[in-house]
Structure 1
Amino acid sequence: MTAIEDTRPRGTRLPRLARRQQLLGAAQEVFVAQGYHAAAMDDIAERAGVSKPVLYQHFPGKLELYLALLDQHCEALVQAVRDALASTTDNKKRVEATMTAYFQFVDNAGGAFRLVFESDLTNEEAVRERVERATNACAEAVSEVIAEDTGLPRDEAMLLAVGLTGMAHVTARYWLATKGSIPRDAAAQLVANLAWRGIAGFPRKDDTPR
């Protein structure tokens, strides 16, 4: 593994919150490039352009730094799904917006999705709990819409929601890994069409039978 080039200016004093965000940004680059186990606090401090004591002033250890970064991106994914669902009352467009949210999340230039979906630290309970919580929160947000519109019991709506969100994140990761000829938005639309043809088979509870 080649060393990560230090591009950060040294000696710059920043407000505490700004420094924290700078350190998280540097940590993300190192963790994405090297994985948790191969990354070292020295690498992160060097990448951020600070001394290691400065890094430890903000984060007591590598795990705490990793968890703070994971929290940030798990929350971003959940919020993106909630925003997609709230962006329209048209359910077909809701499906499209939700699929697009996942594809945009994995296509982020910083590779944050790797910390959420491809972490090499899933044997750590704190990491596993955060990822599961974020995954369930996304599915729960979708299930609430399904239950409200179809009148299905909560457990059935949740099962369908897990299927839809699972389809979204697996296909988005496959698309990114293959990087074929399909543009991102077209790929998201293609998967959304498949998902909509399935979920649209469940009639709305206020539909009047013919």
Structure 2
Amino acid sequence: MTAIEQTEAARPRGTRLPRRARRNQLLGAAQEVFVAQGYHAAAMDDIAERAGVSKPVLYQHFPGKLDLYLALLDQHCEALLQAVRTALASTSDNKQRVAATMDAYVAYVEDEGGAFRLVFESDLTNEPAVRERVERVSLQTAEAISDVIAEDTDLSKDESMLLAVGLGGVAQVVARYWLSSETGIPRDRAVGLLTSLAWRGIAGFPLHGADGAEGPQR
């Protein structure tokens, strides 16, 4: 169950919930408000109202708006990282790995809760704690991709990381464009095009000891 679904299930005012369930409810309500209004326009009153609780209940769990925002960021940055790691570990075929990773980014952006906006389109990146989290997840996802590239090719660690940053950046930018555009391109077709773009690039770097003709395939 997503945070949004938990919010819908737990919203009636006055219902006593276990602490963890209440926290998840509040996070779900906060996500809805932050995604719709942005950090600066959102108010704790709005979030409490959306959750169906009093402001004192909200403050029992989160001392302030920034604490709530950071808790959401932590949750959704971790979700992206785990999605990428799962995609990379899902197969030993490198072309399929690329496809799974591109699909993971599209799925993350496509999620109906819109949490990707907090990570990729935050209006609070001037806040050091927010910027640090956004930069860290970009680095961690790139490192996960880089480890696979370095393991399979003769590229150095730094060279592998450079390519990994490029692949991750292209994936999230294209996924966001596809979601916001009105091109009518079906999801599977969009993932396929993105996979072809990424694979045609990375396949130019051969496996260890290969002659370069086939690229990093198994």
- TM-score (structure 1 length as normaliser): 0.95
Which letter does structure 2 place at the counterpart of 1:157? S
Alignment partners' CA distance in 2, 1:38 and 1:87 = 40
1:45 aligns with 2:54: no
Displacement over 3 Å in runs of 4+: none
1:104 aligns with 2:112: no
1:177 aligns with 2:180: yes
The 5 A counterparts of 1:1-210 are 8-207=11-210
Helix, strand or coil: the match of 1:37? helix
2:4 maps to what in 1?
none
Alignment partners' CA distance in 2, 1:119 and 1:92 = 32
Give the direction of change, closer, same or farther, for the CA distance of 1:33–1:57 in structure 2 (3 Å limit): same
Helix, strand or coil: the match of 1:36? helix
Which letter does structure 2 place at the counterpart of 1:180? T
Higher normalized contact order (CA 8 Å, seq sep 6+, divided by chain length): 1
The alpha carbon displacement at 1:181 in A equals 1.6
Alignment partners' CA distance in 1, 2:16 and 2:191 = 43
Is the CA contact (8 Å cut-off) linking 2:106 and 2:191 kept in structure 1? yes
Cα deviation digits, residues 66-100 of structure 1 (max 9, x gap): 00001000000000000000000000000000000
Identity of aligned residues (%): 75
Q: Please, which runs of 5 or more residues in structure 1 have no aligned partner? A: 1-5
The alpha carbon displacement at 1:192 in A equals 0.6
Helix, strand or coil: the match of 2:41? coil
Cα deviation digits, residues 14-40 of structure 1 (max 9, x gap): 000000000000000000010000000
Give the direction of change, closer, same or farther, for the CA distance of 1:107–1:179 in structure 2 (3 Å limit): farther
Helix, strand or coil: the match of 1:151? coil
Alignment partners' CA distance in 2, 1:209 and 1:56 = 59
Alignment partners' CA distance in 2, 1:63 and 1:185 = 37
Alignment partners' CA distance in 2, 1:172 and 1:209 = 30
Alignment partners' CA distance in 2, 1:85 and 1:111 = 24
Alignment partners' CA distance in 2, 1:94 and 1:209 = 19
Alignment partners' CA distance in 1, 2:156 and 2:20 = 44
The alpha carbon displacement at 1:208 in A equals 5.7
Cα deviation digits, residues 129-149 of structure 1 (max 9, x gap): 000000000000000000000
Is the CA contact (8 Å cut-off) linking 2:13 and 2:53 kept in structure 1? yes
Alignment partners' CA distance in 2, 1:84 and 1:15 = 34
Which letter does structure 1 place at the counterpart of 2:81? V
- TM-score (structure 2 length as normaliser): 0.91
Alignment partners' CA distance in 1, 2:179 and 2:143 = 25
Give the direction of change, closer, same or farther, for the CA distance of 1:101–1:209 in structure 2 (3 Å limit): closer
